[in-house]
Structure 1
């Protein structure tokens, strides 16, 4: 099995927190991966050696500055009453709603969902903002969020 149930997921609280619970229909589309599947996806798409973003090596694509086009503030939008992702992200990521995305917290903690679900629940995903990277299946564009409220817009190469 490649997925955990949301009840088995150690950070389920980010989707059920009383201040910002994700809608029930969205919870069905949020699929935490098992540690083994997370590790495989991380090694194939983020880093073959490093277990988290703090220890990425210079040979890992996220560390190549030329892969990043722009850095914007996400924190102001997160703290606002507006539920939408920042406009700059929506302009940069022009994916269909059914594109499968992977929100990669670290090597053993990856969540699979659809772009539409991420767009609606992005604030929940970022309750835990310790450097996660969002990538799409068979897509080059990537987002790298940091705990200081910034997100880098770029592409995997």
Structure 2
């Protein structure tokens, strides 16, 4: 099995937080990978050596400045009452709602979902904002969130 249930997920609280709980009807669409599957995905798509964003080497594609176009603020939109993604992010990522996306917190913690679910609950995903990277299946565009409240918009190589 490649996934655990949201009930079994160690960070379930980010989706059940009282300030913005995700309705249980959407839980099946938020699919945390098992640690083994997450590690494989991370190794193949982020870094074969580094376990998290803080320890990546210059050999890893996210560390190459040429892969990033710009950085924009996400924190203001996160703190706003509106649930919309930051405008620059929404303009940059022009994916259909059914595109599979991977929100990669670190080597053993990756969540698979659909772009529509991520857009709807992006604030929940960013309760834990320690350098996660969002990738789309067979899409070059990527997002790299920082704890400083910015997100880098880029294309992975």
**What's the TM-score, normalizing by structure 2?**
0.99
* Structure 2: unaligned runs, 5 residues or longer: none
Tell me if 1:13 matches 2:13: yes
Tell me how many residue pairs correspond in the alignment: 157
1:8-157 alignment, distance < 5 Å: 8-157=8-157
Name the Cα RMSD after superposition. 0.5
Confirm whether residue 2 of structure 1 aligns to residue 2 of structure 2. Answer: yes
5+ residue gaps, structure 1: none
Pairwise CA distance, 1:28: 1.6
Partner Cα separation in structure 2 for residue 25 and residue 76 of structure 1:
28
Give the ranges of 4+ consecutive aligned residues of structure 1 lying more than 3 Å apart after TM superposition. Answer: none
Counterparts of 2:22 and 2:150, CA distance in 1: 23
Moved more, 53-62 or 22-31: 22-31
Report the TM-score, using the length of structure 1 for normalisation.
0.99
Q: Secondary structure at the match of 1:18?
A: coil
Alpha-carbon distance in structure 1 between the residues aligned to 2:7 and 2:24? 13
